[in-house]
Structure 1
């Protein structure tokens, strides 16, 4: 559910930027523009798409709009060219967790039975109720579940040194000139007991912290091509564990499960959005603030692909209890 909400967040960001951008001045040359957003994931069979329109406002504040810009009634077709299969999206709604702006349920389109199993071209076409057509192409990428080097990873590391390092075998695309981009991440999984019930949570670990004018801030792995390893500072891992219960004196309310190293691969389309924003993509929510950043024919938005694999990284119980936490 969390992943789905992050994907639906795409539409709000894009449409808000349209209302703000000089090219779409709400006081002069407003144009009817549409944004299609869909990221095909190779690690799930649920695929989600959204379509929204640009909107005008009275004044200059795009956030003053309270009418949901989502476009209903569109016909969206996804073609997996490797097999020739064609899938049609259905529409549904989701209860909003935040009703401060839009009070209606959150709408989206979905396919629940498509999980690409190997590398192949893929395309999407959306026909809007007014006849407008939005389309795009990409390539579904494949990564082996054995890509990450098989070593006895633990926290703390059994090897001496300042870093916990992970390595993997580079994926080799079959499409000529196709680049694969990597996003590695280390996640600590834990539970916080609230009202007697454990609530499952997770903490993403930065590579390290950087000092700035307003204090230190975390630096997470950036998206890159042609990389096959990453190192996480052991002091940063320790700090991340401490931050889990920051400000809470009752450390026994926390149960540390384990850590997970996840390796995400993306196509060029998604990588361009990622790099352009220079921001960490939590579950690959895509922040698009410039209308020209699009690979959608006939409109705006993004159609990209990603895949992932992971390994579990045990956290030693004796290390966990040093922080006052419970070990799973």
Structure 2
């Protein structure tokens, strides 16, 4: 009995004039002169060899041959699921949702995969209490086309601005993959306060000492799990015949050890942080960095341009638990004494993968006087 195309994988034992041949159905055939015996499982073949007191190497060769007959793939079978991604926010009138399907990378480096995994048979809705809103499909250009050459296919709801403190249910329904949904709750509005003497310093920063403190405080929403606070100075600058609005962020400090150094190099800025238990926090800046920024803009960067400083804005970003947990899950491991970088896959979507989160932006604005130092109208 021949082995056909599997002959190159047959094991031969000349003294006993028999051979064992595995095929793709794991049927093992033993030939001894004119007698033919077939085995349906590897276990039966191995048992037969032991019963006939054949050598152990032959058994090992049999098992090794059978194992080599099956290609090794460390990847598990793909569990096809819908992937939903959405971030609701109150700082824009358009809300976007992406809906795709998961995929199995063909290469070891998944970033080399350029296939389009977008689902085209999806209906996306947003529910708030008894109100139901339907998204429409749209296409956006990619800022970076080094990997994907096709535009981004998304779903948009416009005009729509989610409200503080309200819960929203994001739902995606696909004819081919079923339903996936997630619920997010917008944080309530924080209470913002500017402390004395910051309001006085802003009238004329040059007339105050560089060590003068500029302090803000805020009471965060109990629905926020993370936050970041920033301080900006806004100004208009004349470029050619057009006035252009720009802004620059004030740093918290410098990495230099000299406490009286206010240069604009080696600066550090606020980072996303977990909300304190009480929800209350303070942000402190030094007037010296504000002075340095005004000097840099007025006497160096825009020396020959007309410039008008308009206002200072204290901005507080609040992240709901879904968004904050997602953000922290993609950062490096948070234990500085550990070399572990692994964390479980983050998902807050029922019936699929991905997440839906929310954030709010709230601000406190201080209008600068017309005679603010550096103004050139």
Partners of 2:143 and 2:297 lie apart in 1 by: 23
Residue 164 (1) aligns with residue 217 (2): no
Residue 188 (1) aligns with residue 262 (2): no
Residue 266 of structure 2 is matched in structure 1 by 216
Residue 148 of structure 1 is matched in structure 2 by 192
Partners of 2:156 and 2:290 lie apart in 1 by: 37
1:307 CA displacement = 1.9
Three-state SS of the structure 1 residue aligned to 2:266 is strand
Stretch of structure 1 that moved more, 181-190 or 159-168: 159-168
Partners of 1:43 and 1:309 lie apart in 2 by: 9
Structure with larger RCO (C-alpha < 8 A, sep 6+)? 1
1:134 to 168, 172, 180: 180
Q: Check conservation: 1:209, 1:236, Cα contact below 8 A.
A: no
1:126 CA displacement = 0.9
Q: Check conservation: 1:223, 1:275, Cα contact below 8 A.
A: no
1:127 CA displacement = 1.6
Change beyond 3 A, Cα 1:50–1:260: same
1:85 CA displacement = 1.0
Three-state SS of the structure 2 residue aligned to 1:206 is coil
Change beyond 3 A, Cα 1:298–1:128: same
Residue 251 of structure 1 is matched in structure 2 by 303
Residue 165 of structure 2 is matched in structure 1 by 119
1:252 CA displacement = 3.0
- Structure 2: gaps of 5 or more residues: 1-72, 258-264, 333-341
Stretch of structure 1 that moved more, 26-35 or 185-194: 26-35
Superposition TM-score, scaled by structure 1 size: 0.68
Q: Check conservation: 1:119, 1:141, Cα contact below 8 A.
A: yes
TM-superposition CA deviations, 1:109-159 (whole Å, max 9, x none): 111143333523321111234223221122222216xx2226673535587
Partners of 1:112 and 1:47 lie apart in 2 by: 7
- Structure 1: gaps of 5 or more residues: 1-25, 280-288
Q: Check conservation: 1:206, 1:221, Cα contact below 8 A.
A: no
Give aligned pairs, total: 278
Three-state SS of the structure 2 residue aligned to 1:274 is helix
Q: Check conservation: 1:291, 1:300, Cα contact below 8 A.
A: no
Q: Check conservation: 2:219, 2:280, Cα contact below 8 A.
A: no
TM-superposition CA deviations, 1:152-193 (whole Å, max 9, x none): 73535587654211123444x5xxxx5554321112334565
Stretch of structure 1 that moved more, 84-93 or 259-268: 259-268
Superposition TM-score, scaled by structure 2 size: 0.61
Residue 29 of structure 1 is matched in structure 2 by 76
Partners of 2:285 and 2:358 lie apart in 1 by: 26
Three-state SS of the structure 2 residue aligned to 1:251 is coil
